[in-house]
Amino acid sequence: MDTATSDRGETIHLMHEREIDDRLANPTRSDADASSVSKAVDLAERENKVRASKIIGATGLGLAVIALIAIFGPRAFGGDDAVVTSVETATTTVTIVDREPDAVGFEEPPQPEETTEKIQPEPEPVKAVAPPAVTVGDQPMALRSMGLLEIGMTVAQAEEAIGGTIIEPDYSADCHQTTIGGDPLSPILMVIGTGNFGGRRITRIDMVAGNATRSGIGIGSTKIDVITTYETRIEVSPLSADASQGYEYLTFVPADTADAEFRIVMETSGDNVVAIRNGSLPWVEWPQGCQ
């Protein structure tokens, strides 16, 4: 390479360096424009961040307002007038409208159903009855009596004799069938009369399982046992329409004229005794008791 060419290239290189220095010290319009664009981009990014922050804050505030209105009702935020709250987000507008209860189209919120269940009062406890001083259920049955109870006694007389209580039924009738309070084997007593219960009379005594006559006949004894025990004093008669099924009356009829109004009646089904009672006529022969 010749000397002239080398000098020319060096000169061009120096000119480029000076141009670069001058542009750095005094930027041209195009450089200023480029710098402005860069700054504008930075400013736009910052503005977008601020706007987004405001939108998020407004959205959170709107949701908070919705929750507060749902909990406390419209009057907590604006008196009697309808409350309208609008919350704008970047993509959606949320509108909350609360109307007065009498506004057209307003639906009342569902009300709790009234219960129809009634609370039943606790039943009064049954009054305990002390057992009698002398139990009757374990005493033998005779023609006129059972233990210390005698046919024809008033209720008051019978209670005094046994030192116990005869239960007064809670219904009104001229004929009652009741028991002795506190006696586990109490027979069933038929009480006839009106007025004060203590003044009514015992006219019949029905056995329960566990009772027996003086001769040992009780519920479950056989028909042969009865006939063998009382022999000629037993009258056999059918038990109305049930005779075809083996039901019969075995009735003890006393020989003594002083006892003519009294009987012991034993009902049988097939070969066994199913019921026994003593008492005075006509009550002792009533097949269904007070019914």
User: pLDDT of 237-288, one tens digit each?
Assistant: 876 555 556 689 999 999 999 999 999 999 999 899 999 999 999 999 998 9
User: pLDDT of 29-83, one tens digit each?
Assistant: 544 444 554 565 565 566 556 565 555 555 555 555 555 555 555 554 444 444 4
Res 251: pLDDT: 96
How far apart, in Å, are the Cα atoms of 67 and each of 50, 60, 107, 203? 26, 11, 20, 83
Res 129: pLDDT: 79
User: pLDDT of 163-182, one tens digit each?
Assistant: 999 999 998 999 999 999 99
Higher pLDDT, 2 or 86: 2
Radius of gyration of the chain (CA): 57
H helices then E strands: how many in the chain? 5, 11
Residue 275: alpha-carbon gap to chain centroid: 42
pTM: 0.57
Q: Do residues 35 and 27 make contact, with C-beta atoms less than 8 angstroms apart?
A: yes
How far apart, in Å, are the Cα atoms of 171 and each of 92, 168, 273? 79, 9, 32
Q: What is the DSSP letter of 135?
A: -
User: Rounded to whole angstroms, how far apart are CA atoms 277 and 218?
Assistant: 10
Question: In which band, very low, low, confident or very high, does the pLDDT at 130 lie, cut at 50, 70 and 90?
Answer: confident
Higher pLDDT, 183 or 7: 183
Q: For residue 60, what are the contacts with CB-CB under 8 A and spacing of at least 6?
A: none
3-class secondary-structure state, position 143: coil
User: Rounded to whole angstroms, how far apart are CA atoms 11 and 17?
Assistant: 10
Q: Do residues 176 and 169 make contact, with C-beta atoms less than 8 angstroms apart?
A: yes
- State mean pLDDT over 129-138: 92
Higher pLDDT, 154 or 103: 154
Q: What share of the chain is helix, strand, coil (3-state, %, to 5)?
A: 35, 25, 40
